[in-house]
Amino acid sequence: MSEFKLSKTALLLLSVSLLMLAAVVHLSTTRLKEVNRAFFPLESAVSNLTLRCSEGSPLWLESALISAVKDLKALSGQVALVRSDGSVGHCEIGGLQRFEFLGERVSVQTRFRYGSLTKPITAAAVMRAVADGKIGLDSEIDQILWNGNGHQEKIDWPLKVQVGDLLSHRSGFYQRDRDSVFVVGDKPWCPYSMANLASLKVNRDRPVEYSNLNYCLLGVMLEKVYQKKYRELVNEFFDLEGRGIKFAEYRYEKDEVWHDYRYNQMYSEINRGKFDFYAISSGAGMTGSAYSYAFLMHEIVMSDLGSLLLQGRPDSCDNKAIRNCFGYAFYEYSPRVGELLYVKEGYLPGAAGVVALSQFGDVFVWLGNSDTENAASGELMKKFLVRISNHIHGI
């Protein structure tokens, strides 16, 4: 009798244990992001203890990076500033891997994913093509991309799309086409099957609508006019390899920071977005440090290409609104009278960043290892840019 009672007790304990294990597994698979978000304040407090800056860096760079942890939700990050006079400052925070705050920390060389911060580099390459007489900003893209692919006939678009339209996101492509480069588990038609260009629907009455397809087409265009692969060409133009700038792949590089997906609604460490990384090369494909990016952008802006890159926004747009006044490489943003920034944001699953240029030639870059909470609204990025603008303009 006692043996039977003991067996029942053991069975009850086993059942309870299995139920608890099932609950833990369920929580870890379906509620892991909620759990991670709950721990974020504690992790951010520890992360702040790892902050370090280069000698002579302005104090506001420290506060900018701490606010990026708090508001932009990136436990590991970098900021870099190159002033118009060539002076430099940079700060880093967090661990190379999660929970390594007291181990290997983020350094000035740590690799982050640039996402769409790649686009201004592609835009600079396009401006080089304009300067070389290969194309014009008013060149019709069908004449460059369609002819020469075995097709002599013209595409019957009601209004022709020009190179400048692609750069400034005014191509008028429909929604299903604008993000067709980012497909999971399949090859997008751009850059591999350019005959599909003829099927694109265009409505030039549409307002500015951000498009990743625009920059895939620009990458293909550069390949055609220079007869070189995009990656080889931009490396030749800007010495990316010498700067430690590479192109992202699905796998992580050994010197790449860990990626935090807790604020991403779709992707996770298990499902981190198996895109065609070759296809996104010209729009969101580069990786490197904030320091390398800031120096490269400073050199580009100070070169003959710089004045072209800062143009292209329509006269009628309101630059007091974020993401409203897109030009050829950046959007203009004026948080206050007398303050003007040229801005480009970049996002990939588990990564975010922003570059902000002042009208005086200063270049500020922030890179982080997490998706900004509710990034689509732009409210937290707007708050961050206001802070940066105040400091850059000496307020």
pLDDT at 152: 54
pLDDT in tens, 10-24: 555 665 665 555 555
**What mean pLDDT do residues 172-184 have?**
85
Cβ–Cβ under 8 Å, residues 289 and 367: yes
Q: Which residues pair with 260 in a beta bridge?
A: 370
Cα 335 to Cα 346: distance, rounded to the nearest angstrom: 20
**What mean pLDDT do residues 200-214 have?**
86
pLDDT in tens, 119-155: 999 999 999 999 999 999 999 998 888 765 555 566 7
**What mean pLDDT do residues 258-282 have?**
92
| All domains of the chain in start order, with CATH | 112-392 (3.40.710.10)
pLDDT at 67: 96
313 pLDDT exceeds 80? yes
Nearest by Cα to 309 from 130, 71, 157: 130
3 pLDDT exceeds 60? no
pLDDT in tens, 7-62: 656 555 665 665 555 555 445 545 888 899 999 999 999 999 999 999 999 999 99
pLDDT, mean over the chain: 89
pLDDT at 6: 46
Cα 339 to Cα 392: distance, rounded to the nearest angstrom: 9
Ranking 80-89, 156-165, 190-199, 255-264 by mean pLDDT, the lowest is: 156-165
If one compares 177 and 66, the residue with the highest pLDDT of the two is 66
Contacts of 182 (CB under 8 A, 6+ apart): 188, 212, 275, 280
